[in-house]
Amino acid sequence: MLTKDLAICIRAIDYSETSQIVSFFTRAAGKIDAIAKGSKRPKSPFDGPIEVLSHGNIVFVDSGGEKLATLTEFQQQPALINLRNNLFMLYACLFAAELMNNLTHDYDPHPELFDGFLEFLHNANEQDSTSDQQRDILALLILFQLTLLREIGLQPILSHCVNCKTSHDLRAARPELYFSSSANGLICRDCEPGFPDKIRLTKAASACLVAFKQIPGSAEKTLMEIEKVLVQHLTGLLGRTPKMAKHILQG
């Protein structure tokens, strides 16, 4: 059966001299793996070899999920060209693609996650090269990761202590909060001794996790602290550290 869909390439590996196996996150079908026959030939039917983060309209022959789909058309949208000129921007987008590949299941559609992922790529690509560029990209990346976790049903609990359900009072004199990956959320000072994996958060990082709207305006140091917490959390979920994480945490 021929299927048309909007798609973003999240993985591409060489299969032979002339062909690739590509993973797409599609809007209507979710993640698919497909063989792109002849994609590396000079006159490729897909506008040249398919690169991770390329996106556009695809047509593929669905195998029913039993084996690889076969890609028959890929009309690529203009490449996100700025990504190729800024390493941190590129790493952030490749990190997002890696998470999409590893945290979603084949043929499990999430149209809103597709839209959020594409919006993240466009927003990252459009960041001006100002002194705050790295901070702005980090903010976008953190918000994307929180969207991803929500869409796949793994939203961390951030509105109250996971353990005792007490709501956070960030105005209090000692509003210490901790993030525990095993608890999937924030833990208060009274409960933290019971969670050996907890990470203590600064007041600024706690405030961002309790109210996401504070994320875009936060200092780069605070955002890097949150990103470290998210990487540790994602490492727990995946059972290994995401490959691209070191490029983000090195700044």
Task: Specify the residue, 110 or 168, whose C-beta has the smaller distance to Zn ion.
Answer: 168
Q: Does 191 bind Zn ion (CB under 5 A)?
A: yes
- CA 149 – CA 99 distance, rounded (Å): 10
CA 170 to chain centre: 28
> Of 52-60, 181-189, 211-219, 232-240, which segment contacts Zn ion by CB under 5 A?
181-189
- CA 235 – CA 248 distance, rounded (Å): 14
Task: Specify the residue, 116 or 185, whose C-beta has the smaller distance to Zn ion.
Answer: 185
Number of residues that bind Zn ion (CB under 5 A): 5
Task: Specify the residue, 119 or 176, whose C-beta has the smaller distance to Zn ion.
Answer: 176
Q: Does 143 bind Zn ion (CB under 5 A)?
A: no
- CA 101 – CA 165 distance, rounded (Å): 33
Contacting residue, 80, 137, 161, 229, with Zn ion by CB under 5 A: 161
Q: Does 163 bind Zn ion (CB under 5 A)?
A: yes
H-type helices in 49-132, by residue range? 87-103, 111-125
Task: Specify the residue, 146 or 188, whose C-beta has the smaller distance to Zn ion.
Answer: 188
> Of 60-68, 112-120, 190-198, 205-213, which segment contacts Zn ion by CB under 5 A?
190-198
Helices and strands in the chain: count of H runs, count of E runs: 6, 8
Residue found by looking up tokens 């996650």 in the block:
113
Question: Tokens at residue 68, please?
Answer: 């690889």
Q: Does 148 bind Zn ion (CB under 5 A)?
A: no
Rg value, the chain, Cα: 20
Applying CB under 5 A, the residues found at the interface with Zn ion are 161, 163-164, 188, 191
